[in-house]
Amino acid sequence: MSNPTQQEILHAIDQGIRNAQRDYLKAFQSDIASRYAPEYLMTMNIFQSLFELVDGYGLALEVPVYDIEGSSYTKFRGRKPGAVRLDGKCDLVLFNSEDKSRVVIEIKKDPWAYHEDMIRLIPLLKLGIEFSVFASCLFKKTEGELIEETQCLLDTIKNNYVKSGVTLSIELEPSAREPLYFEGDNEEWVWCPVIIKLQKIASD
């Protein structure tokens, strides 16, 4: 099993989202309705991109939260954090060479529908997971609008969760913006993957 760097993992997620959107656009024959690929298509393309990165080992889909805890360096002690639904599942989990949970990834078609994923991802960072990722994408009519909404999304998430009881770093990973022309509707758009990395800040 290879041991990819954080940046390699984030780049693979970015490429998975791009592949999903491009394939869905082709399938819809450039209709404007194709501007958001379904979550499962993005999930499977991210899986494939990561699968190639890790040589096909240490990657799982739809992992129950209690299994993530069971394969982590740390266990929840006493009462479980109320925000963590132990009967819930996470979209993708990447394991390290010791078969310990390393990265947890949640994918959403709509980036503003982040709340259910955040209340699961943040408490899981207490288990010794290296980092977690919320992945989605945004489409806007102009590059300026895309930059503005992406920053607004990041600021909103930071404002909502930076005081969550975990000392967090919440960062938007740089991602190239792409122009997109929908022939059937004669519409020009611009879009980019949205990849937000959450990481627990180590205490001194």
**Residues 130-159: pLDDT tens digits?**
899 999 999 888 889 999 999 999 999 998
* pLDDT range class, residue 26, cuts 50, 70, 90: confident
pLDDT (average), residues 30-49: 81
Token pair recorded at residue 160: 């909502």
CA atoms within 13 A on the CB side of 67: 15
Q: What is the CB neighbour count within 10 angstroms for residue 5?
A: 8
The closest of 15, 97, 4 to 49, measured between CA atoms, is: 15
The closest of 25, 50, 29, 26 to 191, measured between CA atoms, is: 25
Percent of the chain whose predicted confidence (pLDDT) is above 90: 36
For the chain, the domains span 6-200
Least confident range from 28-32, 54-58, 86-90: namely 28-32
pLDDT (average), residues 111-121: 90
Burial class (CB in 10 A: 0-12, 13-18, 19+), 111: buried
pLDDT (average), residues 168-175: 86
